[in-house]
Amino acid sequence: MIIDRLKGKKIIILDIEELTFIPYIFPIVESLKKKSSGISYYIATHYKGHDEFRKFKIPANRQFGVNLSRNISEADIFLSPHIYGVGNKNSIRIHINHNQPVKYESYQKNDFENFDIHFLTSPLHRQQTENTIKKYKLEAQNIKLYETGYAKSDDLLSGKFCRNEILKELNLDPLLKTVLYAPSWDEGLSLRAFGEKVIGEILKIKNINLIVKLHPISYCPEDGPNYEFYTGGINWIEKLKRFESNENFRHVPSNNIDPLLEASDVMVTDLSSVALEFIILDKPVIYIDCPEFFEKTLKKTYSNFGNTTAEFVKNDPKANAGRHVGLVVNETGQLKQAIVRSLENPEEFSDKRKEFSKMLIYNPGKAADTAASVIMEILKI
C-alpha cells in the first residue's frame, strides 16, 4: 500500500468476509475500473487466494484476513456488504447492503456506527436506516446516506437474462411452469426445520419444473469459520442429492440467484429478502410460516436489533419480506394448493405487488454505476 501511495493511487479495501458477498460488491468494482485506473484494490476475507476472487484480478498478495482491516490506516475507503465489517477509523467506511430489509426492525447500534456512509438500496431501506439513526439518537454523528440501489440486481432489471435459455441450460423444459424454492438460512426457518419435506411436497405437483436455490450462506464452505452457524452443520449440496432422480428437479448451488428469478414463475420461501426481488418482477410469492423461528430464533439471534418482535416481523413491510402481498401457508400440506392457485392466477395480487415495488428499488439497472460515481466523488477523482 505504501507503493500505491507513492504512485498517487487511491486505495480501497473490499471486505468480502464470505464468498457469498461477491455478487453485491463485484459490479461496483467493475464500474469503478471503467471510470478510473487510479484506484488500487485489496480484499479482506477468510478465503485468501480462492478461485472465486480471480474475476476481480486482484492478486493473492493483495488479499488478507478480515481482522487486519481494522489495523490498516493507509486505505482511503473500506467498502463492505457486511454490517459486521470493521474498517480502520482513518478510512472512509462505506456499507452496502447484501440484502433487502427483512427479519428485524433496525441494525444493531455498534455495527451501524462502524460506518461513516450507508449506500441505500431502496425507499424501504431508507426507512429502516433512518429508524436506526433515530432510535439510537445518532443524528449528531452526521452519518451520510446515498440512494444508490441494489447493484446485484442490475443485470436482472436490465433484461440481460432470457427465461427459455436459462431453463434449457438447466436441461429443463421451458414449456413447463417453474417453481423456485428459495428459503433463508436461519435456524427455525423452512430449510433447516423441514426443507426436505417442502421439496417433496412440491414434487408431487405434476408437469412443473422445480428449482431449488438456497440462501448463499447455506453453501458456506465446511472449512469456513461460520460453517456451523450458517448451515447447521449440514452440507446441503450432499443432503439434497437424493432428489436428483426427479427429472424436473434442479438444485443450483450458485452465489447468484438472478437468472433463476427470471426463469421462474412462482417462488416458495419463508422470510428471505429474495422474495422482494421476485416481487419487483411482479411474480407471485408463497410464504411458509415457521413458528420455531418466530418463537425461538428471533429472540436468540435478533433480540438486539431494535424492537424486533414476532408481530413486527410477520406484519410490518419493513421486515416481513412481503408477506402482506403474497400467500402465507401454515403447513407444508397446503403448498400444493397454493402453488396451483398462483400458477393458474398469477395476477391475483399483482396490484399489491406493483404498489409495494415502489418501495423496493433505487436506480434499477444502474445501481453499480451510481455507487461507483458516488465513490469517485468521495475520493475526489
Residues of the chain with CATH 3.40.50.2000: 2-150+364-379, 155-357
d(CA 180, CA 265): 8
- Of 53-57, 103-107, 333-337, where does mean pLDDT reach its minimum? 103-107
295-322: average pLDDT: 91
3-state secondary structure the chain: CHHHHHCCCEEEEEECCCHHHHHHHHHHHHHHHHHCCCEEEEEECCCCCCHHHHHHCCCHHHEECHHHHHHCCCCCEEEECCCCCCCCCCCEEEEECCCCCCCCCCCCHHHHHCCCEEEECCHHHHHHHHHHHHHCCCHHHCCEEEECCCHHHHHHHCCCCCHHHHHHHCCCCCCCEEEEECCCCCCCCHHHHHHHHHHHHHCCCCCEEEEECCCHHHHCCCCCCCHHHHHCCCCHHHHHHHHCCCCCEEECCCCCCHHHHHHCCEEEECCCCHHHHHHHCCCCEEEECCHHHHHHHHHHHHCCCCCCCHHHHHHCCCCCCCHHHCEEECCHHHHHHHHHHHHHCCCCCHHHHHHHHCCCCCCCCCHHHHHHHHHHHHHCC
For residue 221, the model assigns a pLDDT of: 87
* Phi, psi angles (nearest 5°) of residue 75: -70, 140
- pLDDT, tens digit, 9 for 90 and up, residues 211-230: 999 998 899 888 888 899 99
β-bridge partners, 209? 178
Q: Do residues 5 and 205 touch, judged by C-beta distance below 8 A?
A: no
pLDDT value at residue 5:
85
Q: Do 44 and 66 contact (CB within 8 A), yes or no?
A: yes
Architecture of domain 155-357: 3-Layer(aba) Sandwich (3.40)
- Is 232's pLDDT higher than 90? yes
Residue 306 confidence (pLDDT): 82
Classify burial at 358, counting beta carbons within 10 Å of its beta carbon; exposed 0-12, middle 13-18, buried 19 or more. Answer: exposed
Section 158-181 average pLDDT: 97
Quick check: 295 pLDDT over 90? yes
4-63 pLDDT tens trace: 888 889 999 999 999 999 999 999 999 999 999 999 999 999 999 999 999 999 999 999
- 276 grid coordinates: 422482494
Give the whole-angstrom CA distance, residue 230 versus residue 221: 10
Assign 2 a pLDDT band (cuts: 50, 70, 90): confident
Say yes or no to pLDDT of 176 above 90.
Answer: yes
Q: What confidence score (pLDDT) does residue 26 get?
A: 97
Give the closest residue to 67 by CA, choosing from 84, 81, 83. 84
Kindly indicate the confidence band of residue 157, based on its pLDDT and cuts at 50, 70 and 90: very high
pLDDT at site 223: 87
pLDDT at 304: 83
Q: What is the mean pLDDT of the chain?
A: 95
Distances (CA, A) of 294 to 104, 188, 227, 351, 365: 11, 8, 23, 29, 34
How far is residue 253's CA from residue 342's CA, in Å, rounded to a whole number? 25
pLDDT of residue 330: 95
Full-model pTM:
0.93
For 54, other C-beta atoms within 10 Å of its C-beta total 11
Query: Could you give the CA distance from residue 339 to residue 37 in angstroms, rounded to a whole number?
Result: 50
The predicted pLDDT at position 255 comes to: 83
Confidence of residue 272 (pLDDT cuts 50, 70, 90): very high
pLDDT at site 376: 98
CATH no. of 2-150+364-379:
3.40.50.2000
